[in-house]
């Protein structure tokens, strides 16, 4: 599939390096403006970007930004496109209140914008910007926009609470509550809840090959974590971290590594409060009641 889009690019004036590109949904040439451009630290222009194949890795910063937009626009889903080498294509940027600049230029920018009575702030120094500065998908709620990176995929009906975090090439596939960490490569199915303080091991962890996911109508309890996938109607007890190597006791007394249960549906993982052993029981989503429908209309 060939993708062609027009975007507005910012470049560093002294080096010519591309800093970022914004691709408006309407795909008509539109310009942005910011104080960093006004005072001559960066320059903006319209750029046409063509991706011949999303299966091939990105070849430029401009291509990398378009791929991140496609994810956040929900044109593609996580793990459907090639993002190999993206870190090397995204420069580290000081995301300032006056616009994106190279970190070495922050002090110069601060001095230049003083004449406009602008108090410069720098919310982050990172390769990835906030998603909402580029794409605002319909039907979602995000309590703290700093915690959702460009390249996150948030399905309609998703709520990301203040302590929730969604990285690039990760996200939700239906209505969901995110109060924990959804890391690269991870997807969360419809009507599932990622509890407060919980985490899911992604493709940037360990060997970087395992793609973990949570199915539909599942609950990852508060401060829990998984290094395996959960199928549909699964529950992980609050505070329990289940890695691939965790020894789990089945209802018949058999002991297996948790990786053998990865992706299976209808399982409740819990720690025996007396013996400390991790156990699994067969269950269904009615054990926790599912999502509160009134919280996820987001219309």
pTM for the whole structure: 0.92
Distance in angstroms (rounded) separating the CA atoms of residues 258 and 230: 11
Q: How far is CA 282 from the centre of its chain?
A: 31
pLDDT at 209: 65
> Is residue 177 within 8 Å of 194, Cβ to Cβ?
yes
Distance in angstroms (rounded) separating the CA atoms of residues 295 and 106: 41
pLDDT at 117: 95
pLDDT, tens digit, 9 for 90 and up, residues 169-203: 999 999 999 999 999 999 999 999 999 999 999 87
pLDDT at 256: 97
Average pLDDT over residues 32-45: 97
Question: Which residues are known to be catalytic?
Answer: 179
pLDDT, tens digit, 9 for 90 and up, residues 43-91: 999 999 999 999 999 999 999 999 999 999 999 999 999 999 999 999 9
User: 206 falls in which pLDDT band (50, 70, 90)?
Assistant: low
Q: How far is CA 77 from the centre of its chain?
A: 11
Distance in angstroms (rounded) separating the CA atoms of residues 90 and 41: 19
pLDDT at 285: 53
* Nearest partner of 175 among 156, 199, 201, judged by Cα: 156
Distance in angstroms (rounded) separating the CA atoms of residues 208 and 240: 22
> Above 60 in pLDDT, residue 165?
yes
Average pLDDT over residues 104-127: 97
Cβ neighbours, 10 Å, residue 171: 29
* Nearest partner of 122 among 96, 149, 92, judged by Cα: 96
pLDDT at 1: 77
pLDDT at 33: 96
> Is residue 213 within 8 Å of 188, Cβ to Cβ?
yes
Q: Encoding tokens for residue 44?
A: 């903006």
* Nearest partner of 165 among 215, 200, 207, 189, judged by Cα: 200
Distance in angstroms (rounded) separating the CA atoms of residues 78 and 95: 25
> Above 80 in pLDDT, residue 295?
no
> Is residue 279 within 8 Å of 213, Cβ to Cβ?
no
pLDDT at 29: 85
pLDDT, tens digit, 9 for 90 and up, residues 233-290: 999 999 999 999 999 999 999 999 999 999 999 999 999 999 999 999 998 656 556 6
| Average confidence score pLDDT of the chain | 93
Q: Based on the number of CB atoms within 10 Å of its own CB, is 279 exposed (0-12), middle (13-18) or buried (19 or more)?
A: middle
Q: Encoding tokens for residue 84?
A: 């190999």
CA dihedral sign of residues 130, 132, 133, 135: positive
pLDDT at 202: 85
Cβ neighbours, 10 Å, residue 52: 11
> Above 80 in pLDDT, residue 210?
no
């Amino acid at each position: 599939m060939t993708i062609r889009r027009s975007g507005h690019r910012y470049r560093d004036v002294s080096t010519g390096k591309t800093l970022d590109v914004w691709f408006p949904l309407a795909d008509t040439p539109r310009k942005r403006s910011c104080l960093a451009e006004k005072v001559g630290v960066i320059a903006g222009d319209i750029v046409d970007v063509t991706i011949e194949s999303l299966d091939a890795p990105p070849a430029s910063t401009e291509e990398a930004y378009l791929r991140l937009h496609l994810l956040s626009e929900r044109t593609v889903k996580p793990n459907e496109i090639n993002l190999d080498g993206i870190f090397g294509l995204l420069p580290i940027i000081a995301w300032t209140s006056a616009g994106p600049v190279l970190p070495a230029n922050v002090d110069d920018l601060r001095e230049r914008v003083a004449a406009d009575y602008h108090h410069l702030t720098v919310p982050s120094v990172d390769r990835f910007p906030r998603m909402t500065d580029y794409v605002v998908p319909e039907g979602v709620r995000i309590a703290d926009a700093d915690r959702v990176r460009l390249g996150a995929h948030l399905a309609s009906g998703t709520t990301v609470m203040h302590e929730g975090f969604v990285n690039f090439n990760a996200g939700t596939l239906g209505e969901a509550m995110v109060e924990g960490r959804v890391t690269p490569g991870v997807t969360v199915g419809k009507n599932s809840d990622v509890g407060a303080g919980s985490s899911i091991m992604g493709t940037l962890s360990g060997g970087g090959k395992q793609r973990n996911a949570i199915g539909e109508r599942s609950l990852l309890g508060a401060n829990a974590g998984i290094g395996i996938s959960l199928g549909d109607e699964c529950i992980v007890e609050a505070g329990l971290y289940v890695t691939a190597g965790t020894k789990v006791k089945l209802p018949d007394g058999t002991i297996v590594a948790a990786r053998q249960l990865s992706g299976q549906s209808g399982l409740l993982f819990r720690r025996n409060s007396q013996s400390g052993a991790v156990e699994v029981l067969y269950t269904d989503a009615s054990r926790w009641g599912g999502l509160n429908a009134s919280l996820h209309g987001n219309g």
